Structure 1
């Protein structure tokens, strides 16, 4: 039997991307992270730094002026930024979330128009699916789009929209035929400057305070017919396909914040002296750190495996995207909480970044589908035989 086994690891190109993002994150994003959280302001310094290196929307294909990063490279960007500031990591993550329906379902003209602008840094992209009465039950949305000649007129309210008010472009899901349930939902690009578009006050949140979350109000917003993404009635399909891919980016975000918390816990444990020696010498703490490191690495490997499936468009992506997001976000919450415990009273104060990381980690268990919904998705995939050929 041959002993020449393949080695599974990052390519030199992916390692270089990680190093480049880590350098800019530590130099130009981390120094502002506490202030951004304290003031609940948009991380403009991070946005500028990411845009300067084409890391603000790395997924955009080269043919539209983007960096053409694959799914794994995009995850590396998000992971490394989240390691120092989860709010800032939502810039590349939400730009992918908002624009991916255009990539998945849009024709060449709408892709050329909006992906080119996104790549050039003209404006970010947000994703408008959730509503006040339609969260996990997205099909219950009430936002309507009615054809009027060659135009469409949109009315409704979207809630929990990340980077709303900052982004220039919005993928909006709206009902075009209420008799058809999910097949009666279509997708459109709405621009911030369109008459009738307005925003609610920023939500006062537990974490990710640097990423504005606001309602988007659509009051008889008239848009031209060429802003329809793909075909009428296929919007929900595009939205769900998008989430299959972007749940992997939330997993990467969760891995990043967990790794950042572990980094701080390890450094502190080796410096903090009690009973005449570093607390890292105590076996009880060593066991805690070991479990933290083990789970972070397990989450990372699951996330990278899911990223590979996202890039290839594998049939089991739905399962792996849900599994990676669910597992990694649960790990992030556990690891950040334990990191606060390692620092004791110091971890509970704002003098150290752990309490912010713990607050930021919580949202990864909620958005892009709660972890309870992810378990439903996984179970349905398993019952449908998704693992039968593994």
Structure 2
């Protein structure tokens, strides 16, 4: 039992019901929060009003943002990689939530552009690290005819009697080189500006693209320099949400890369792709917890300022009920996000089941929070004078980004069923 001599006001941190942080954790949080407030929000607002071509043009505020982000050391790959798993489980969600609170499009631009460099560092190969470890890149996953199906690399959700879609990019092995042909979808994050790409693609090693007698494809994971002959790009994508995040098509015409740039082949490529998706989904949950928190905070401020019926609208019980519901949803999203970080960095993790659980729940919840918060603004919420319509647009994109939520849920329940069948000693 607890004992109160008197009832005090709650002590709340930047992240609401925040238990004690270490001195280092609080310093990191405050540093990233300042960056998010002073750099990300103003630049994100400017970029949101610009055309996709203006966003990537020379002199765009996006370039200023990326320069300031790199100079800040917030995502210093060497420093982050040197942390213990326990430190990562606590500090990563702090960083990602603050970045999402600042601007989700810029947050995703930062993280997506770092995937090839991060992957290069995990190889431990000095030559690979030298070539890819410090350049902005992209994660080349989706293709025009192969969208969210890309998360089903092992073909466990392919319709009976069907086969995986080969998609629009093919790779074939020729001697000590890989030859790449085709095009990505227009949804490649940071694709218009990336200098490198991390891609997991169907591959013909000499016996065809499909595994003999199966529904599945042969795969390869390759790091691709995008300054190679045969690489070209389409127009940057015009979209409703996360407009500060440039996305666009990349085309490959007999692009040749050395065998050494293939970091994973066959079944190992499937494992590497799932590992990347596991981290990306976990990161998405923390980032969009920040978006939900931003929507809640704007609504909380507004209902104390806006007067209707002769009083600030916070004094109306219907508004009080809705504000508390927003608070609950943000806290629930954060709790699940943190639980998954703890699991994935524990002896039991990481696993895609954990990450899709948080990604799908948090992004669905964030869209609900943003929509309900906008409702409290009334007509003002629909105008660009207030931040709510942007937050709702940004949140909506996240329900498709890094795997459409329904497809991710199917992968999750597949793992749940497999776990249960193994535990129960049955097969259905």
Q: What TM-score range do you get, normalising by the shorter chain?
A: 0.7 to 0.9
Q: CA deviation at 1:354?
A: 0.7
Secondary structure, in 3 states, of the residue corresponding to 1:234? helix
Q: CA deviation at 1:70?
A: 2.3
1:279 to 1:98, Cα distance in 2 relative to 1, 3 A: farther
Matched, 1:108 2:142: no
Correspondence for 1:319 among 353, 364, 372: 353
1:110 to 1:145, Cα distance in 2 relative to 1, 3 A: farther
> Corresponding residue for 1:234?
268
1:62 to 1:372, Cα distance in 2 relative to 1, 3 A: same
How many Å separate the matches in 2 of 1:349 and 1:225? 53
Secondary structure, in 3 states, of the residue corresponding to 2:26? helix
How many Å separate the matches in 2 of 1:356 and 1:62? 33
> Corresponding residue for 2:182?
156
Correspondence for 1:147 among 158, 170, 173: 173
Matched, 1:28 2:47: no
Matched, 1:338 2:338: no
Give CA-to-partner distance per residue, 1:308-341, whole Å, 9 cap, x none: 2233363463222011001100111001111111
Secondary structure, in 3 states, of the residue corresponding to 2:102? coil
1:66 to 1:284, Cα distance in 2 relative to 1, 3 A: same
> Corresponding residue for 1:137?
149
Q: Map of 1:187-266 to 2, 5 A cutoff? A: 187-232=221-266, 234-266=268-300
> Corresponding residue for 2:48?
37
TM-score (norm 2): 0.81
**Preserved CA contact (<8 Å) 1:337 1:358:** yes
Q: CA deviation at 1:37?
A: 0.1
1:306 to 1:99, Cα distance in 2 relative to 1, 3 A: farther
1:364 to 1:313, Cα distance in 2 relative to 1, 3 A: farther
How many Å separate the matches in 2 of 1:386 and 1:246? 26
Q: Is 302-311 or 210-219 further displaced after alignment?
A: 302-311
Secondary structure, in 3 states, of the residue corresponding to 2:27? helix
Alignment gaps of 5+ in structure 2: 1-17, 57-61, 154-164, 424-428
Q: Map of 1:113-132 to 2, 5 A cutoff? A: 113-114=130-131, 116-117=133-134, 123-132=135-144
1:314 to 1:342, Cα distance in 2 relative to 1, 3 A: same
How many Å separate the matches in 2 of 1:255 and 1:110? 37
Q: CA deviation at 1:102?
A: 4.2
How many Å separate the matches in 2 of 1:363 and 1:338? 17
Give CA-to-partner distance per residue, 1:115-153, whole Å, 9 cap, x none: 631xxxxx2121112111111222523422222332221
> Corresponding residue for 1:87?
105
**Preserved CA contact (<8 Å) 1:156 1:217:** yes
Q: Map of 1:251-330 to 2, 5 A cutoff? A: 251-312=285-346, 314-315=348-349, 317-330=351-364
**Preserved CA contact (<8 Å) 1:336 1:361:** yes
Cα root mean square deviation, aligned: 2.8
**Preserved CA contact (<8 Å) 2:116 2:198:** yes
Count of residues paired in the alignment: 376
Q: CA deviation at 1:36?
A: 0.7
How many Å separate the matches in 2 of 1:231 and 1:30? 41
Larger Rg: 2
**Preserved CA contact (<8 Å) 1:254 1:329:** yes
Q: CA deviation at 1:48?
A: 2.0
**Preserved CA contact (<8 Å) 2:128 2:261:** no
TM-score (norm 1): 0.88
